[in-house]
Amino acid sequence: MKRSSGILLPVFSLPSPYGIGTLGQAAYQWIDFLAQAGQRYWQVLPLGPTGYGDSPYQSFSVFAGNPYFIDPDRLVQEGWLTAQECQVADCSQPAAVPAPPDPGTAAGGVNYADLYEKRFALLLQAYRRFEHQADPAQRQRFAAFCNAQEDWLGDYALYFALKREQKELPWTAWPEPLRLREPAALARAQETLQESVNFCSFMQFKFYEQWQNLKAYAHQAGISLIGDLPIYAALDSADVWTHRELFQLDETARPLAVAGCPPDGFSADGQLWGNPLYRWEVMAQDGYAWWLRRLQQSFDLCDVLRIDHFRGLESYYAIPYGEETARQGRWVPGPGRAFVDALKQRFPHNSVIAEDLGFLTDEVRDLLAYSGFPGMKVLEFAFDRREKSDYLPYNYNKNCVVYTGTHDNATLAGWLQSADPQDAAYARRYLGTRRHRGEHWDFIRLALASVADLAVIPLQDYLGLGNEARINTPSTLGGNWRWRLPDLSVLTPRLARRIARMTDLYGRGPG
């Protein structure tokens, strides 16, 4: 990977008049800003449809795109919606968020409940108009998309339709014939829910069409996209419902064990994620075909992929289903080198970033070295006085990606305000600075000056925002995944020039 830099900003955080970031005008203007700032990468969070808890890491499908990101303005231009319909659906104004349960949620952030109530109704109007008014060429493009995505789209669309019919219950609570996918029950559902099935396919058609247009624009501007691949599928997802044989479920579709992380110095109970675990031995029998299809889909959307929880490929933490904490889990060997070999053989020229944060063993480090993938370094983790840190820049090698922080961290300004005072003082001594108003720039400079091939800075850190702009606080419910940039006026030419100068100073410019 050539020495370069990028900025992390979730799609949902883009400003828009529709309550959530979309693939519309602001996304194109954001790409223009990245180019003006001398950047080469835009890193996003997972793009899938979100469910309970609103986390993009717990998606209803590992293949589908989030329909909330579809730009209504583009649908108006195409004739599938009217401006008045958008206004009637209250999509013309940012959603007002109720008082958050914690101070970390910015007012004016994403209101997912409001989106669920109104966005699907609006998109259904667009689908019905398309169904009645589309010309033969438009119908052919839609049919071609559905055929190209047949490996997953039909199952996901039926899952979507059934979930709506079943009052949004998880598939594990559906009637047994549907839960266990009895052919006769599926055939009846396909017939009776045909409009809902086709509506779901239409939304995916529009998401992919708009995303590919945006990706092409980014490439013209010299910007590549870094995507994010959660290692696990959500239990309530079309993927697990469709491919139960690939997951550790019993004959009634109940999980045998679920994913998480063991207790550590930050969490006495560990982290209980609740995702079903893979039957890696079954996946190995066809050369990890399901995973390779998933990776291909992700590489079609993005140029580089960050694989979340890479250490789970070496060994994963299995927690008996039904446990209330992660205390009773155990480590189980993962697919290791066999999976890495399959990935690299299929995608020899594609770029991967391995998220290797957290509890690491020599075996995990050996697998990362074997893969050749760059790992991650996070500056906010560097200044813990309790232990020697691999995250201090003098410990880096070239083959890594340095972040000031990630979506799971406090912002730089927030960290400086909330960190142990002695840790913050240690950081300032390391930087050779004292407390001052713009000290977040000192940390950014440290990341850009490091030997790491790639430096990625969250936009909130360039803007010097506090924890009101934090994206997620792990192991908490409510108030996460909501932060939005109020408008593009903060992305000034002056800011772009300052970022570009610093980027160029440390040899990360596009030249």
Which residues have a Cβ under 8 Å from the Cβ of 375 and sit 6 or more positions away? 310, 353, 354, 355, 356, 368, 399, 400, 401
User: Degrees (nearest 5) of the Cα angle 142, 124, 130?
Assistant: 40
Residue 418 near residue 405, CB atoms below 8 Å = no
How far is the C-alpha of 334 from the C-alpha of 278, rounded, in Å?
9
> Which CA distances in Å does 323 have to 34, 231, 256, 276, 327?
45, 21, 11, 13, 8
Report the chain's terminal Cα–Cα distance, integer Å. 14
Q: Please tell me whether residue 377 adopts helix, strand or coil conformation.
A: strand
Q: What torsion, rounded to 10 degrees, do the Cα atoms 312, 317, 322, 327 define?
A: -140
| Beta-strand pair 304-307/224-229 | parallel
308 catalytic residue (yes or no): yes
Backbone angles phi, psi at 410, to 5 degrees: -60, 155
Q: Which element (helix H / strand E) includes 203?
A: helix 194-220
Catalytic residue among 71, 239, 355, 439, which?
355
Burial class (CB in 10 A: 0-12, 13-18, 19+), 510: middle
How far is the C-alpha of 245 from the C-alpha of 424, rounded, in Å?
49
Instruction: Enumerate the β-bridge partners of residue 258.
Output: 276, 319
DSSP for 384-408, please give it: -TTS--TTSGGG--SSEEEES--TT
Which residues have a Cβ under 8 Å from the Cβ of 85 and sit 6 or more positions away? 122, 125
How far is the C-alpha of 264 from the C-alpha of 20, rounded, in Å?
35
Residue 312 near residue 364, CB atoms below 8 Å = no
Catalytic residue among 78, 408, 468, 504, which?
408
Which residues have a Cβ under 8 Å from the Cβ of 231 and sit 6 or more positions away? 307, 308, 309, 310, 312, 313
Name the nearest CA neighbour of 48 among 37, 61, 35, 39. 61
Which residues have a Cβ under 8 Å from the Cβ of 250 and sit 6 or more positions away? 256
420 catalytic residue (yes or no): no
How far is the C-alpha of 372 from the C-alpha of 359, rounded, in Å?
20
Catalytic residue among 85, 228, 236, 308, which?
308
Q: Please tell me whether residue 306 adopts helix, strand or coil conformation.
A: strand
Largest CA distance in the chain: 70
* Three-state secondary structure readout of 245-284: HHECECCCCCECEEEEECCCCCCCCCEEEEEECECHHHHH
Name the nearest CA neighbour of 160 among 209, 187, 198, 110. 198
408 catalytic residue (yes or no): yes
Give catalytic residue positions.
308, 355, 408
